[in-house]
Amino acid sequence: MSDVLKALQPRKVFEYFEVISNIPRGSGNERVISDYMVKFATDLGLEVKQDEAYNIYIKKPATPGYENAPTVILQGHLDMVCEKNKETVHDFEKDGLELYIEGDWIGAKGTTLGADNGIAIAYQMAVLADDTLKHPALECLMTTDEERGMSGVAHLHPEYLSGKVLLNLDTDVEGEFLLSCAGGAKAYLTMVLDKEAASHELVYYRLVLNGLKGGHSGADIHFERANAHILMGRMLYALKSKIDFKLAEIIGGSKDNVITRECEVTIAVKKEQVETLKATAYEMVEVFQKEYSAQEEHICLTLEEVAVPKEVLIDDCLNRLIDILVMLPNGVMGYDQHMKGLVQTSLNLGILQMHSDRIELGSAVRSSVASRKVELLAKLEAFSRAFNLKFEVKGDYPAWQYNENSRIRECAGELYMKMYGKEPIMTAIHAGLECGFIAEKLPGLDMISFGPNVKHIHSPQEVASISSMARVYEYLVKLLENLVAY
């Protein structure tokens, strides 16, 4: 096991963060990390339960003097988004992360860091292992499969919990306290493919569009960054207006909650059309660079000749795919008119996967207004009928509604002002948090969400601030200590 973080303080926080970074824990692959948490709690002599979804429930008794304070639930998720740079050799099913430190930032070489939400797990472990802290009775809830649709928390056993206050530790801006979040769902469109034998009289080129920033499809959607799938659709549409071509392959993103950073296609043209292909493709890149000059600095395209594949799409399939990519809604659909700058409704085309017999497209749909989410899903269903696509909705999750009478909001704000001499930001987020599901299963629970500074979540550029991780842990410890008078 590596010990890159061994000199950092508070020692236990960074030690545990490095421990879990060495355990593969992509969404759907949490059995090992879940079993590890059972052993961790058992070794500490604490009560622990593991449910059928591998969610973990750990209880730690109140310290003397806190017996009458309400039980506090600390909550975060065990899984992480597994994204890597194309050239990075890494097996997320088997390999631990290769951590590094650069200035005040922790990152992982060529991959996502998993600070979302490994920091919450490290915080919980540090609190559980430290018998010098003062706190009410604690229940640490570590959920699974949050990133793929919150299926872990959907299987939550409310009878395992008795807490009245919940501190969700799944946010990424220090000093911001979240009081509500959007609901969402995953919409999948499937197109059946018809193919024909590839012609040896054509030349074949791979076009790779990359260099985009990407990011979290909820937390970063308001930046209106470029989506590589949408750009590639526009490029293919422009090419189709000038030359005839065949398409052998398209490779895009695999996660709906990630703004896609790159997309590649393999297309075939006549030899005399190669120069038009190159000129048109690079002209479109220049168009994209101008359009996104404020958001994207490194949009680029590479072309290379490749070997003749076995098959290509028939023209009808190709034309339909291009139309789908050009017409499919994507990005911000509307802003909240009550909270300036907050996205109300959006969707992100994060999945574009070509199989032997079909193409699958998946979008993360989000809205803080339930009826707008329903409306957007209805539009996608109507879109699928128009293009003769199979339509399916998965992972539907509720919004977390704002609580006007939150005592924990008051306690958290007062302490932050006392510790740092400035008002915290009390706000909402367009991304989904598990608080909506938890509120449904534990009615009356008083909740707030906070965390340290983490940048570029859901991308290989993800980094977490060392100093912020330390400050927020200090704040968490003090908040627990102050809840004796909640």
Active site residues: 79, 146
Q: Which two tokens stand for residue 431?
A: 């991304």
* Residue 189 near residue 384, CB atoms below 8 Å: yes
Q: What is the spatial distance between Cα 142 and Cα 153, in angstroms, rounded to a whole number? A: 9
Beta-sheet strands, E only, within 132-257: 138-143, 165-168, 176-181, 183-192, 195-197, 203-210, 215-216, 246-254
Query: What are the backbone dihedrals phi and psi of residue 265, each rounded to the nearest 5 degrees, phi first?
Result: -135, 155
Q: What is the spatial distance between Cα 193 and Cα 313, in angstroms, rounded to a whole number? A: 7
Query: What are the backbone dihedrals phi and psi of residue 79, each rounded to the nearest 5 degrees, phi first?
Result: -85, 165
Q: What is the spatial distance between Cα 479 and Cα 416, in angstroms, rounded to a whole number? A: 9
Strand 72-77 and strand 138-143: the pairing is parallel
User: How many Cβ atoms sit within 10 Å of the Cβ of residue 109?
Assistant: 14
Strand 358-367 and strand 138-143: the pairing is unpaired
The helix or strand, by DSSP H or E, that contains position 282, with its residue range, turns out to be helix 274-291
User: How many Cβ atoms sit within 10 Å of the Cβ of residue 305?
Assistant: 9
| DSSP bridge pairs for 191 | 359
